[in-house]
Chains A and B, each alone.
Chain A
Amino acid sequence: MNSYSLVGRIETNKEGYQKLLNFYNYANKHNNCWFNLDITNLEWIDANLSANLFLFCHLLKKKNKIKFFIDYYTLKGYLEVLNRNGFAYFVVENKENFLQYDYKDTTIPLKAFKTDDVDGFSKYIENTLLKHQGLDRVKYDDKDRLKSNYFEVFDNVGIHSNTETPIFACGQFFPNNKELKFTLIDYGDGFLKKIAEYTSDTDKIKVAKRAIDWAVRGNSSKASAKGGNGLKGIIQYCLRNGGSFHIISDDCYWEYQNRSVNYHKIENNIKGVTINIIFKYL
């Protein structure tokens, strides 16, 4: 059996994403085989990143016919969260011991949505994310707006992403740090392609970081009608309430926090967009 070891700490940042991507790029060189996802030396993983890892595994299963194995007995201590949020159950072939049941109520479970599943996605955002105990302190009005912003993002995926692959979502509440992290990922065309085409006569955007800036400012490349400013709405929430917001597309890891935007280069990224929001409370 082939094996890949995830080691150290994998957090919701550029380094964490790059580690998961390195796994995908390694496994993508293999076909028609078993892969042991070895987490023996994994100290920590932000469990919301199960959305990214699950997309990668989904692609490897579908395109490369790879089957995954995780040793159930390595999911100990904190890492058993990968069982509680459904990641292990959905990914592995050896499902016998894995059961998605969150007795701690700290996960926002891993879920997949087709791009036309408006009711499923609405219910997940309204009932699973926004009613989670980790967001108790978010004001009702802010929740209403956040809900709407995520719906705008969902709509954008359906319009722009040009993909049949579902969107994956997962969240995790960290009560000790007073943080809740939520990740949404699609396997579409990303920001740059469409925005570069749309702005070829105007702003002439040619790099991913500028494409993401352009989108976050509330611009839209929708041909038939303007609007859909979910990203702008999410960053406005972070501006008012603290927290941070990350967008990963093409070769750019775009990161907003503490009233500034930073850009990091991603090596050998796959197509698609990841959106992370980190809610923080004092």
Chain B
Amino acid sequence: MKNISVIEIIGTPNAIIQAFGINVYNGILPFVKNNIDIVIDFNGISNVTSGFCNASIGKLYSDFPNYAKSKIKIKGLSNNPIAIEKIQYSIDLASNPEKSKLNNDIISELFN
């Protein structure tokens, strides 16, 4: 099992831009292609955005759903509930892209 350290790939505790997510995705690709189990390690990461999550983990789940479900584990997030929420949402969105249109009730009412 290969440990993939996010902070080592992006060089900062702030995983807040899509470009960093793409770097992480690209860093993981060789292991996907060789069908190697990985742990995506968020130790040292302070901030995470959905833009980052969707470009990295979400895209892995979207492009390689079978691999992702069985061979990706995530660690290092126990003190970061918002990051957990964003990562989970990116995974859900990858499985169900229409989901983003279902959560707009309160906001949609403003425009009716």
Task: Identify which of A154, A158, A227 contacts B90 (C-beta below 8 A).
Answer: A227
Instruction: Take A152-B50, A156-B51 as given contacts and tell me if A222 and B18 are in contact as well, using a CB distance cutoff of 8 Å.
Output: yes
- List of A residues within 8 angstroms of B19 by Cβ: 116, 158
Measured in the bound complex, the distance between the Cα atoms of B22 and A147 in whole Å is 22
Q: B54, A226: Cβ atoms under 8 Å?
A: yes
Taken residue by residue from 26 to 49, chain B's Cβ proximity to chain A (1 for < 8 Å, 0 otherwise) reads as 000000000000000000001111
Q: A119-B12, A122-B47, A148-B82 are in contact. Are A227 and B17 (CB under 8 A)?
A: no
B89 nearest CB across to chain A (Å): 8
Contact of B103 among A147, A159, A218 (CB under 8 A): A218
Alpha-carbon gap, A261 to B112, bound state (A): 10
Measured between alpha carbons, how far is A198 from B64 in the docked complex, in Å? Answer: 26
Given A213-B111, A216-B107, A261-B110: A225 and B14 interface contact (C-beta under 8 Å): no
C-alpha spacing A58/B97, complex, angstroms: 41
Which residues of chain B are near A222, meaning CB under 8 Å?
18, 51, 54
Interchain CB contact under 8 A, A256 and B21: no
Among A122, A148, A226, A232, contact of B107 (Cβ-Cβ < 8 Å): A232
Q: Mark B46-69, 1 if CB is under 8 A from A, else 0.
A: 111111111100110000000000
Tell me which of B46, B54, B110, B111 contacts A225 (CB under 8 A).
B54
Chain A residues near B51 (CB, 8 Å)?
152, 155-156, 159, 222, 225, 227-228
Residues of B within 8 A of A213 (CB): 111
With known contacts A119-B12, A148-B82, A218-B103, A228–B18 Cβ distance under 8 A: yes
Known: A145-B82, A148-B49. A227 touches B58 (CB 8 A): yes
B110 touches A259 (CB 8 A): yes
Knowing A158-B17, A158-B19, A229-B50 are in contact, say whether A224-B82 is a contact too (CB < 8 A). no
Known: A118-B14, A148-B49. A236 touches B107 (CB 8 A): yes
Size category, B interface: 35 or more
A224 CA to B94 CA in the complex, in Å? Answer: 12
Chain A residues with CB under 8 A of B48: 148
Q: Judge whether A267 is part of the interface by a CB distance below 8 angstroms.
A: no
Residue A219 at the chain B interface, CB threshold 8 Å: yes
Q: For residues 138 through 179 of chain A, which have their beta carbon under 8 Å from a beta carbon of chain B?
A: 144-145, 147-148, 151-152, 154-156, 158-159
Cβ of B104 under 8 Å from chain A = yes
Q: Which residues of B contact A261 (CB under 8 A)?
A: 110-111
Q: Check if B108 sits within 8 Å of A217, measured CB to CB.
A: yes
In the complex the two chains form, what is the Cα distance from A145 to B85 in whole Å? 11
Asked if A217 and B12 sit within 8 Å, CB to CB, the answer is no
Cβ–Cβ contact B12 & A228, under 8 A: no
B50, A144: Cβ atoms closer than 8 Å: no
| Residue numbers in A under 8 Å from B47 (CB-CB) | 122, 147-148, 151
- The 9 closest A-B CB pairs, nearest first, are A227-B54, A228-B51, A151-B16, A227-B50, A225-B54, A225-B55, A155-B51, A122-B14, A155-B17
Query: What would be 18 A-B contacts, judged by CB atoms less than 8 Å apart?
Result: A122-B47, A151-B16, A152-B16, A155-B18, A159-B18, A213-B111, A217-B111, A218-B103, A218-B104, A224-B18, A224-B22, A225-B18, A225-B21, A225-B51, A226-B93, A228-B18, A228-B51, A256-B110
